[in-house]
């Protein structure tokens, strides 16, 4: 009995020690996400959200093969671990928009020299899907990564201390990218964190973010949740390529004897949304209208509608293209474009 009692006491001490260590580990993890220990982030691109740039994708909060953003919407793709802030056109990329440090820290790694072209396949990238980029260590287990930067634009080096707002490079489309954008990711102790909710990737969606968001005051208002937005709208004589990377300035050239086509790129259409196309001529009267209900929708949506030129050709002057999306009878997005013959 005495030996059994001693063994039992040793077991109690052992399990108590394990419990204590486990509790300390949990406490340490809990401490890492307290408000005092959180990272405070500013907008990582020097652009105006909703005008010169748009939020295209958010972190995926669904652990299965489905997709859910932090609001339980569909503004993400399966397994997406960051926030994509995109430019509207290739021309915008050539103008140059700075990618800036979202918080102060020390540069860990950089990559530069990869071209700004959509890859033929992921295998051709040899594991460099993120393209050109910068990784910054912010201390206390926090890191941020800035991916798909423009070739030759990286301005920092490993070991360099940077401050919040310092230029790191420019928005590009190097690596596995189909359009110019920054893929901005946040990690804590190696785990992907959603800066909107403060939760780990795959965590529950639709939770309160009032005290959990990592966005600093001011930046959070710039990055408000917007599940549907129009990227670009154009009037053209022919249907432009669906891929942004394959479009040129010549796609907008109008011919008086060619069709007149109104086209759009949209983020976040849903089944049941109604889209309206309208083209008005120099006299202000409609020359083409078309309304259709979207059957499937999607995160990236390309659509167009148009009309053949009349036998005498289009009248010279100003043409206005108008596109509207309605959801549940309400207009949720609209855009206009003007072209002249």
Residues 106 and 209 in one domain: yes
Tokens of 29: 């993890």
**Domain end among 173, 192, 222:** 222
Residues 202 and 250 in one domain: no
Return all residues near 29 (Cβ < 8 A) that are at least 6 apart. 189
Q: Which domain holds residue 210?
A: 53-222
Residues 262 and 212 in one domain: no
Q: What digits encode the pLDDT tens for the residues 36-86?
A: 578 999 999 999 999 999 999 999 999 888 899 999 999 999 999 999 999
Residues 254 and 206 in one domain: no
Tokens of 321: 């293209």
Q: What is the pTM of this model?
A: 0.85
In total, how many domains does the chain have? 2
What are phi and psi for residue 219, nearest 5 degrees? Answer: -70, -35
Q: What percent of the chain has pLDDT over 70?
A: 85
Residues 235 and 324 in one domain: yes
E runs forming strands in 37-170: 53-57, 83-87, 98-100, 105-111, 132-139, 142-149, 161-162, 167-170
What are phi and psi for residue 251, nearest 5 degrees? Answer: -65, -20
Q: What digits encode the pLDDT tens for the residues 140-188?
A: 999 999 999 999 999 999 999 999 999 999 999 999 999 999 999 999 9
What average pLDDT does this structure show over 187-200? 94
Cα–Cα dist 227/170, whole Å: 25
Residue 85 near residue 53, CB atoms below 8 Å: yes
Worst-scoring range by mean pLDDT, 8-22, 103-117, 240-254?
8-22
Worst-scoring range by mean pLDDT, 31-40, 196-205, 252-261?
31-40
Cα–Cα dist 214/194, whole Å: 8
Is the pLDDT at 18 greater than 60, yes or no? no
Tokens of 271: 């089944």
CATH assignment of the domain containing 292? 2.60.40.10
- 149: which strand partners? 132, 171
């Amino acid at each position: 009995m005495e030996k059994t009692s001693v063994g039992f006491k040793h077991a109690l001490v052992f399990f108590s020690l394990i419990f204590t260590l486990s509790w300390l580990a949990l406490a340490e993890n809990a401490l890492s996400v307290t408000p005092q220990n959180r990272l405070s982030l500013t907008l990582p691109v020097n652009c105006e959200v909703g005008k010169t740039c748009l939020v295209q994708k958010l972190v995926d909060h669904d652990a299965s093969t489905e997709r859910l953003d932090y609001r339980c919407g569909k503004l993400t793709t399966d397994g997406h671990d960051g926030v994509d802030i995109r430019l509207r056109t290739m021309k915008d990329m050539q103008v140059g928009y700075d990618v800036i440090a979202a918080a102060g820290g020390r540069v860990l790694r950089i990559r530069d020299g990869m071209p700004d072209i959509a890859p033929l396949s992921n295998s051709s990238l040899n594991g460099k899907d993120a393209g050109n980029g910068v990784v910054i260590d912010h201390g206390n287990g926090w890191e941020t990564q800035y991916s798909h930067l423009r070739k030759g634009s990286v301005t920092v080096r490993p070991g360099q201390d940077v401050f919040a707002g310092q230029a790191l490079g420019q928005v590009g489309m190097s690596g596995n990218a189909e359009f110019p954008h920054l893929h901005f990711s946040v990690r804590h102790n190696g785990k992907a964190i959603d800066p909107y909710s403060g939760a780990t990737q795959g965590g529950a969606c639709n939770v309160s973010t009032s005290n959990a968001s990592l966005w600093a005051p001011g930046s959070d208002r710039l990055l408000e949740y917007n599940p549907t937005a129009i990227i670009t709208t154009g009037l053209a004589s022919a249907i432009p390529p669906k891929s942004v990377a394959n479009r040129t300035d010549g796609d907008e050239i109008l011919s008086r004897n060619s069709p007149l086509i109104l086209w759009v790129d949209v983020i976040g259409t849903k089944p049941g949304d109604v889209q309206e196309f309208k083209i008005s001529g120099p006299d202000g009267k409609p020359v083409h209208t078309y309304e259709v209900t979207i059957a499937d929708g999607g995160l990236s949506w390309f659509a167009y509608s148009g009309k053949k030129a009349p036998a005498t050709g289009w009248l010279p002057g100003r043409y206005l293209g108008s596109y509207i999306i309605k959801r549940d009878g309400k207009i949720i997005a609209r855009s206009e474009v003007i072209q002249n013959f």
